[in-house]
Structure 1
């Protein structure tokens, strides 16, 4: 014998929830509603307080302040969304530390259609990436701290960490916010399958140029 309409409805709701199709419950949307209410209530209370304290001039001042705060918040949200899509300005790149540079590179790779895995260990950033064509990247980073130092001071020693002897299927990419020395370039040219991405190319990549357009070598055979 079928149950009451209420029990039938409860069973239907339970089935929909189990399938993930019922939608959010009140406890799921309550924080968002509370935040929306505060975002409306606080400006109103501020305007009332300014009007009572300073009269019409205070009301005008409050409107101007709220408009400026809203514009600044909108610009900030747009900047955050742009960076998440893998686009960075020169000033934003300059403020990044080693970890931040790796995060930016991962976002830019995903923007270009690569699938990225973070292989960083012990504070040393490193990325693995592959595309639909079967290419695989081993992405290492020259420390940000060396970007403003003499480009010939370190030589190729730090770059040797990017190589994986005997593993030829990887295209090894070394990202540096500064300039590589002549010794670095000579070392990379002798290795095969190594691409040095200096500060100029990094900025072009951050501007939206695909990594493939920046001289990325073909898949090693």
Structure 2
């Protein structure tokens, strides 16, 4: 019943608005009402498209930049699902963390690092690659650390020595959010 009432209001509301504007302002009011309703429809359509796009796991760089910590976690969760991963949220000591598994049996442990935690003065010239440094760790779990910032050379060396640790920096995160799959970024299969 509430859905029917909302539908009736959505149809009757604009009609009553147009009738009222016509009675108060005449034909000019009718034209004003049609222009106003058209503008609302255009804005609503753009908002709806952006919402649907984000639910499918596609984000613009501007949208990524305004996300808070929990928003970034939700975005990464949607992007993993878009790429075919089954995702479970498993916070660790108050810090967000995701566990993901794909149909092929691959497993990911996804952690997040704040951009201000990564020192920018020692950042490598290019983006820190998702590097295949050998097999996944002993527990067959590939660890992915995501940051909006850049990783230092020390971070990249540390990850390369761990085996099964992959770093995703801000540039790679933007590529991934734009539609590239995590596999396109070099996650070993």
- CA distance in 2 between partners of 1:109 and 1:169 (Å): 19
Q: Please give the TM-score of this superposition, normalised by the length of structure 1.
A: 0.74
Q: Identify which of 177, 189, 195 aligns with 2:148.
A: 177
Q: What are the superposed Cα offsets for residues 159-206 of structure 1, whole Å, 9 maximum, x if unpaired?
A: xxxxxxx85311000011111111111111111101100111111111
Greater relative contact order structure (CA < 8 Å, 6+ sep): 2
* Higher-Rg member (1/2): 1
Unaligned runs of 5+ in 1: 1-29, 154-165
Please state whether the residue corresponding to 2:184 is helix, strand or coil: helix
Deviations 1:12-45 (Å, cap 9, x if unpaired)?
Answer: xxxxxxxxxxxxxxxxxx1111110000111111
Q: C-alpha displacement at 1:122, in angstroms?
A: 5.5
Which of 87, 109, 132 is matched with 2:103 structurally? 132
Gaps of 5+ in 2: 123-136
CA RMSD of aligned residues (A): 1.8
Question: Which residue in the other structure is 2:128 paired with?
Answer: none
Match of residue 69 from structure 2 = 98
Distance 1:61 1:123, change over 3 A: farther
Counterpart residue number, 2:187: 216
Matching of residue 194 in structure 1 with residue 165 in structure 2: yes
2:2 maps to 31
Give the paired residue count: 175
1:89 equivalent to 2:60? Answer yes
* Other-structure match for 1:20: none
TM-score (norm 2): 0.86
**Cα pair distance change 1:70/1:122, threshold 3 Å:** farther
Q: Secondary structure at the match of 1:151?
A: coil
